[in-house]
Structure 1
Amino acid sequence: MTGFVVAVCAAFGLVIGSFLNVVIWRVPRGESVVRPPSACPGCGAPVRPRDNVPVLSWILLRGRCRDCGEPISARYPVVEALTGLLFAATAWFFGPSWDLPAHLYLVAIGVALAYIDIDVHRLPDAITLPSYPVVLALLAVAAAGTGDWSSYLRAVVCGALLWAFYLLLVLVYPRGMGLGDVKLAGVLGMYLGWAGWGAFAVGTFGAFLVGGVFSLGLLATRRAGRKTGIPFGPWMLIGAALGIVVGEPLWRGYLDLTLGA
């Protein structure tokens, strides 16, 4: 059963990845993700349905527009393949569970937000703000299906806590991060809270750890200076992923080591 779910989610992820390419390009520019249909940026020719098959079409077209031969960025199949792989990994980790849809949604917005933040150093409200009611609804369905309303309450509390923590950081040091990070923090806090208090602690700390290590690496290799702006959204997402996947066992191990619990 799990194998079937993984396969279905992988295929679904490829399709979602194709849509995310549209989101990544259009949302920062304030454009509709529905209209007009996708077209070649070089000649304006609409993309044919047969040329819109995730990954495969790009390979068959050798990375060029069928009409004008304009190169098509390799990012398109990369985003599609990455989303498919992450959907498959998420389905494998959670299995056919009530909270699987919620975590697939996190993967989808995570891919889009990470790429957008790298491109334009922004986390658009058009993605983060609607995610609050969506995540609350999806986790409510999971809580109703499992009867675990305590985890749902913890998710709401942790979402508020992480939102407040990031807001405090912005108020204390405005140049360190932006309000987009604050809005994303509330969403990630709900997922971490759903996973547990240990996941919340590890996910919160993990974002600053991996982000700090990456920044030090850039400084050491002189690819960035002290005043270089480095998007923090991707590290928040990676930290949250670490918290969800390994946060609880890591936190228990830490408590056993320090407190002998």
Structure 2
Amino acid sequence: METLVTAIAFILAFTFGACIGSFLNVVVYRIPAGISLIHPPSRCPKCGHPLGVTENVPVFGWLWLKGRCRWCKTKISSRYPIVEAVTGIIFMLVFWRFAYSIETIGYCAFLSWLLSLSLIDLDTMTLPAPLTKSGLVLGLLFQVVWGWQLAQGKGIANQLMFGIGGAVLGIWLWEIIALLGSIMLGQQAMGDADGKLMATIGAWIGWKYVLVSSFVACGLGAVIGGGAIALGILGKKQPMPFGPFLALGGALSLFCGDAIINGYVNTFFRF
């Protein structure tokens, strides 16, 4: 019986996550374009025909339509169902890691913000301020709620300082990295929004994981960026969106930050 209940909980987590992923597709498309998230309702970008209820079903709606608009037969990008499915999987992983807790709700929101920002950065080379600012505020509110659950008044103060400290370290650290990178490369190395994204990450997971996230992001950026240059995909001075690396660093820190820290300490500081 317990196994059945757990299986149903995972299915519900995936379903809810896929629905949120459908909304994230709207966020990723409309915020950079300056379009309202509420009006008009979802529609075909080519012919403008509103999507019906069955067409709006996450993942399965796209499969049912065979990847084309029902009315004008324009091809619909496969990224839409992929984002929905990935968000569903993310929600399942969060539930698997944090079970029935306030952390599950908060971290599902946190990772949804990171996914949206990553996709927008890949599309437009920008990290919209409305998303980084709202993510930062929501992260601090999450710390307040979590602190109240832990120890009411004293817990709120501790967790709020935890979030503020992470946000401050995040933006300061990336301002320093951006300055050093610009000096070494002789051109702007990082956008200002990267520091704001790291501040958002810090508000959610604290100063310690800001360091882990930065380490992971720099490592992945160096390897993937260097590989892209070697393969001729990127030019030596061609800009590359760094938000996805920061987001991935934040996500990995959330799930296995302690393991990364312990592995680093055991590797380089064993006496």
Q: Shared fold (TM-score greater than 0.5)?
A: yes
Q: 2:26 aligns with which of 22, 26, 38?
A: 22
- The answer to whether the 8 A contact 2:198-2:210 is kept is no
Structure 1 partner of 2:82: 78
- The answer to whether the 8 A contact 2:22-2:84 is kept is yes
Q: What does the per-residue CA deviation read over 1:115-153, in whole Å, with 9 as the maximum and x for residues that have no partner?
A: 110010000012111112211112211121123554542
Counterpart-to-counterpart distance in 2, 1:37 and 1:162? 37
**CA-based RMSD:** 1.9
Verify: 1:112 aligned to 2:116, yes or no. Answer: yes
Structure 1 partner of 2:195: 182
Q: 1:161 aligns with which of 152, 165, 169?
A: 169
Instruction: Within 5 Å, give how 1:85-234 maps onto structure 2.
Output: 85-147=89-151, 148=155, 150-172=158-180, 173=182, 175-193=188-206, 197=208, 199-234=209-244
TM-score, normalised relative to structure 2: 0.88
Count of matched residue pairs:
258
- The answer to whether the 8 A contact 1:2-1:95 is kept is no
SS at match of 2:164: helix
Structure 2 partner of 1:251: 261
SS at match of 2:126: coil
Counterpart-to-counterpart distance in 2, 1:219 and 1:124? 27
Verify: 1:40 aligned to 2:44, yes or no. Answer: yes
SS at match of 1:99: helix
State, as a whole percentage, how many aligned pairs show the same letter: 33
Tell me which amino acid in the other structure corresponds to 1:185.
M
Q: What does the per-residue CA deviation read over 1:58-83, in whole Å, with 9 as the maximum and x for residues that have no partner?
A: 11111111111111111111111111
- The answer to whether the 8 A contact 1:191-1:244 is kept is no
SS at match of 1:36: coil
- The Cα shift of 1:6 comes to 3.0
Counterpart-to-counterpart distance in 2, 1:203 and 1:179? 17
Counterpart-to-counterpart distance in 1, 2:263 and 2:74? 54
Counterpart-to-counterpart distance in 2, 1:152 and 1:96? 22
Alpha carbons of structure 1 residues 192 and 66: separation in structure 2 relative to 1, 3 Å: same
Q: Quick check: 143-152 or 161-170, which moved more? A: 143-152
* Structure 2 unaligned spans of 5+: none
Q: What does the per-residue CA deviation read over 1:165-191, in whole Å, with 9 as the maximum and x for residues that have no partner?
A: 112334452611111111111011123
SS at match of 2:102: coil
- The answer to whether the 8 A contact 1:18-1:76 is kept is yes
- The answer to whether the 8 A contact 1:102-1:139 is kept is no
- The Cα shift of 1:100 comes to 1.6
